[in-house]
Amino acid sequence: METASISVLDSLPDVGRTQKFCEHWRHFMAARGDGRTWQTGDNTSNKQMDGNACGVFVLMNAEAIIKKTSTKVMRHCHVGYFRKYVIKRLLQDPSRANDAACDLPFCANTDRHLRRNQCDRCDKWAHPKCLGLHQDKTRSPCVFC
């Protein structure tokens, strides 16, 4: 909104569909009295490789945007892990939500006593196992960095 740019994150990209969505947005904003010139942004989503992962890609793209990282980080190989992550988050007791939470969306660890490390660069928390590290390793940049 601040930059007056439109980005369509489509895991099954189609140039015609993207142009159509952008034009609908421009008409909508004009009808609301917004006189700005809306430019098409350059955000892109990774492509899904099947016909049933589109909802997961919507959630993965949203997660990447919320965590202020590139939407290109999450790929089709992460879909299964991300489904487990979403289920875990939905079923999680909200009073204990941050006890041992791993910020990596493909984390499937449920052990509340598993040690976490904080990223040196972005301060996100992750289990060493999720980073592919030995448990003794204390710090490392996360996959987002």
- Token pair recorded at residue 4: 């007056």
> pLDDT tens, 19-32?
999 999 999 999 99
d(CA 43, CA 36): 20
Note whether residue 88 is domain-resident: no
How many residues comprise the chain?
145
Closest CA to 78 of 59, 101, 105, 45: 105
**How many distinct structural domains can be found in the chain?**
1
pTM higher than 0.75, yes or no?
A: no
Phi, psi of 117 (to 5 degrees): -115, 150
State the residue range of the domain holding 32: 1-44
DSSP 47: P
- Average pLDDT over the chain, rounded to an integer: 82
pLDDT at 139 (0 to 100): 57
> pLDDT tens, 55-102?
999 999 998 888 888 888 889 999 999 998 888 888 765 555 555 667
Note whether residue 74 is domain-resident: no
Residue 107 clears pLDDT 80, i.e. is over it = no
Residue 49 clears pLDDT 90, i.e. is over it = yes
The residue-averaged pLDDT of 128-132 equals: 76
Note whether residue 8 is domain-resident: yes
Note whether residue 55 is domain-resident: no
Note whether residue 105 is domain-resident: no
* % residues pLDDT > 90 (the chain): 30
What is the DSSP annotation of 17-36?
A: HHHHHHHHHHHHHHHTT---
Q: 10 Å Cβ neighbour count for 26?
A: 17
